[in-house]
Every structure is written in C-alpha cells, then in structure tokens.
Amino acid sequence: MSKITFILGGARSGKSTYALSLAKKYRKVAFVATCQPLDKEMQERIRLHKEARPGHWKTFEEPKDIGVLSGKIGNEFDCIIIDCLTLLVSNLILDGYKEEGILKKIDAMLVNLRKKKAKVVMVSNEVGLGLVPANKLGRDFRDVAGKVNQIIAKEADEVLFIISGVPMKIKGGK
C-alpha cells in the first residue's frame, strides 16, 4: 500500500519545488501533470516545469482523469507525483462536472493510488485563506477544491504546508 504525502500552499509558495525535492531520491518517478497549455504564457510555464524535472522521469499529461491513469500506470514506479489537484478541479469544473462528479473522480484516484507500491506525492493550492470570490464560478471552484483538499488530507499519511519555500508539517511523518 502506498504512502501518500500531501503538499499544500499558496500560489508560488514553492509547493512543486518541494515535491520535486522529495522525489529526487527515487529512481523511477512518474510525474502526473494536470495543466493544460491553453495559451502561450502557460506553454512557457509548462516548458520551465519540464526543464526542472530530471530527464529520466516519465511524464504523464492527464488533465481530467487521474483515476483511470493511476490504474494504468502499474507498479513500475518508486514515486508518483501529481501536480496539481487545484488545476484538476478547475479542468473538471470547466468541463461541466459538478461537485458530486468531481468527488467521485477523486475517490477513484485514491482507490487506485492506494494499491500502488510507490510513494505518492500530491500537490494542491490551499484555497481557504483568501477572499470570498466575487462570482459563483469562483465560489464553486473554491468550495469543491476545499473539499478535495480535505479528503486528500484525511487520507494522506503526511500533510505539509509550504510558506515561502519552507515546509511546515501539519500531519504525520517524523
């Protein structure tokens, strides 16, 4: 059964960098990217993220169905990084999914990931520290992303909160 580490933080807090640092000690790493390159700026961000990862890691680009992907990955990896859950939630909402459907996809992902031998590292933005969004879509996103974060944090063996690149242990670990 896999060990799950959940990394939360604000935008540009160093979450992804910290996740990469945890995985660098493993030989066979699967990196699951949920971002969709919808414009030139995002394409450039994705390019920079790819450059930051070791070349021997295997990247899987899956913006919406990590449950299915995690079932297909197999047990060949020592570590699986999923970056990031807030983009996954955003992709699903923009694709027309409602809260119930998103939570079913998260449950399916967790079921498949728990069957893996690999260490699992998941990254997400903490959405509960900001202002209440001004529009319904923003509030719906915040509400669903917050519930997803709570589900993952409950299931995770270890939860870290990153502030300015500094990890704070919230749950589990040494």
Question: Could you tell me the domains of the chain?
Answer: 4-171 (3.40.50.300)
pLDDT at 131: 86
Q: How many residues does the chain have?
A: 174
pLDDT over 90 for what percent of the chain? 76
Predicted local distance difference test score (pLDDT) of residue 53: 87
101-122 pLDDT, tens digit per residue, is: 999 999 999 999 999 999 999 9
Write out pLDDT tens, residues 17-47.
Answer: 999 999 999 999 999 999 878 789 888 988 8
DSSP string, 40-94: HHHHHHHHHHHHHS-TTSEEEE-SS-HHHHHHHHTT--SEEEEE-HHHHHHHHHH
Q: For tokens 């020592």, name the residue.
A: 78
Residue 74: the pLDDT is 82
Strands 119-125 and 4-9: parallel
Across 157-162, average pLDDT: 97
CB atoms near residue 6 (< 10 Å): 25
- The mean pLDDT of the chain is 93
pLDDT value at residue 48: 85
Which residues form the catalytic set? 49
